[in-house]
Amino acid sequence: MTSLTYFEPLTAGHCSFWARMVLQAAAADPRISRLRFVTGREMADRLSDVVDATGLELEVLPEAQIDALSQDGLMARGRAQWAAARACLEGVGGQLFLPFFDHAVFGAAVDRRPMKGQVSGILFRPPNGYNLPTTPRRRVDVSRRWGTYLAAKRPAVRRLFTLDEVAPQSAVSRMSKLLTFLPDPAPDLSLLEGRERRPRSDGRKVHLLFGSLGSRKGIFVVLDALAHVSADVRATLALRFVGRALAQDREAFTAALERARAAYPEMAIEWVDDFVSDEELAQEVSDSDVVLAPYQNHLGSSGVVFWATAAGKPLIAQRTGLMGYQIDRYDLGLAADTTDPAALARAMEAVEMRPRNTEFLGAHSVPAFTGTILGELLS
């Protein structure tokens, strides 16, 4: 039996979602004799129900320390996070899990002192060259990342996890047993169960793009792609955006939307300009025919992939990075060059329905996620 410290200095993104899953699973694991949660006040408040239900030990770090652990300078932030992880293990030992490890890995690489216990974490941006051209700049970046990971990997660092399925297959990772694939857990998709598609009164086929709307997610390229879709096909489509636009893109997106509506009156182009609940989103996905995720050179995956797959909707997404790999590997839809409006238009015209891929969803379940982490840390 051993102690496990879950150390989370951050608050954004999936931090509370992951902490909740792992802490609940760890509390039920008989291999763990002592469970600690070290975090800031905001995260402690968000997960107070988990703390109360599990009886774990909670340590709330002062606000000034939390600020230092999330400061702007990458190297300074990484060293501060690694130093804090080291301090968490003093007098305790055992295993420490620091979910977002992309910055702390720099601290681990330069601080060679032995330490009490071992640290593990997730690397979110490992080298993934799937369908990407090899350029001098990319070679430098890839070499820097692999060099840092290799320097950090020693007895004090037990596991370097990654949500990326491609990077662990690389020669350098396989030869050094450097990266361990960790299946990204799908969000709670139970809201999709039993929902039926509500037919539109106009009979149009719905192409849905949802979430926080910004240029990075390809909202402008989608509108540009309409010029390359035949008028006959446009007349059968409804392009539906659901979500708030980012502040920096809002004015330009509003103007582009109006131009597209004026240029293609035969097509329905709609925007639900609001934050939507998960229940509302579940109905939007159920009512769609195709889900669009035309990210612009995104390296990782997205929750959009899970929503579309769980609802049995084909996905149109970029052909590069992890998302491109998942589309190809699991046949989740069509992968295209989403930086090219003409290529995106061809995909919008050619995409066909796919069966619901239960293999993909099962491999990315919550038990698969927590089981991989605890299995690797406690074996």
Domain hosting 324: range is 190-358
Domain count, the chain: 2
Q: Tens digit of pLDDT for each residue in 82-126? A: 999 999 999 999 999 999 999 999 999 999 898 999 999 999 888
Examine the domain organization and report whether 172 and 113 are in the same domain. yes
Examine the domain organization and report whether 174 and 195 are in the same domain. no
Distant-in-sequence, close-in-space partners of 182: CB < 8 Å, separation ≥ 6:
122, 161, 162, 163, 369, 372, 373
Residue 105 belongs to what H/E stretch?
helix 104-110
pLDDT band at 342 (very low <50, low <70, confident <90, very high): very high
What whole-number percentage of the chain has pLDDT above 90?
Answer: 78
- Kindly report the CATH number assigned to the domain that includes residue 134: 3.40.50.2000
Q: Exposed, middle or buried, 283 (CB in 10 Å: 0-12/13-18/19+)?
A: middle
Examine the domain organization and report whether 31 and 125 are in the same domain. yes
Q: Single out the residue of 280, 310, 283, 64 nearest to residue 185, CA to CA.
A: 310
Examine the domain organization and report whether 63 and 163 are in the same domain. yes
- Does residue 13 have a pLDDT over 80? no
Q: Report the sign of the C-alpha dihedral through residues 279, 282, 286, 288, in that order.
A: positive
Q: Read off φ and ψ for residue 77, nearest 5 degrees.
A: -65, -45
- Is 331 in a helix, a strand, or coil? coil
**What local confidence, expressed as pLDDT, does residue 73 receive?**
86
Q: What is the mean pLDDT of residues 32-38?
A: 97
Examine the domain organization and report whether 47 and 62 are in the same domain. yes
Examine the domain organization and report whether 19 and 121 are in the same domain. yes
- pTM (2 decimals)? 0.86
**What local confidence, expressed as pLDDT, does residue 265 receive?**
97
Among all chains, which residue has been given the structure tokens 């997404």?
Answer: 317
Examine the domain organization and report whether 33 and 155 are in the same domain. yes
Q: Read off φ and ψ for residue 206, nearest 5 degrees.
A: -95, 125
Q: Tens digit of pLDDT for each residue in 126-158? A: 887 788 888 998 889 889 999 999 999 989 999
Q: How many CB atoms lie within 10 A of CB 335?
A: 21
What whole-number percentage of the chain has pLDDT above 70?
Answer: 100
**What local confidence, expressed as pLDDT, does residue 56 receive?**
97
| Rounded Cα–Cα distance for residues 106 and 303 (Å) | 28
**What local confidence, expressed as pLDDT, does residue 237 receive?**
98
Examine the domain organization and report whether 174 and 281 are in the same domain. no
| Rounded Cα–Cα distance for residues 151 and 65 (Å) | 26
Please give the order of strands across the beta sheet that includes 268-272: 268-272, 237-242, 205-210, 290-293, 315-318, 333-336
Examine the domain organization and report whether 250 and 151 are in the same domain. no
Q: Exposed, middle or buried, 72 (CB in 10 Å: 0-12/13-18/19+)?
A: exposed
Examine the domain organization and report whether 51 and 153 are in the same domain. yes
Distant-in-sequence, close-in-space partners of 176: CB < 8 Å, separation ≥ 6:
150, 153
pLDDT band at 187 (very low <50, low <70, confident <90, very high): confident
pLDDT band at 5 (very low <50, low <70, confident <90, very high): very high
Of 70-74, 228-232, 246-250, 258-262, where does mean pLDDT reach its minimum?
Answer: 70-74
Q: What is the mean pLDDT of residues 26-49?
A: 97
Examine the domain organization and report whether 273 and 179 are in the same domain. no
**What local confidence, expressed as pLDDT, does residue 130 receive?**
86
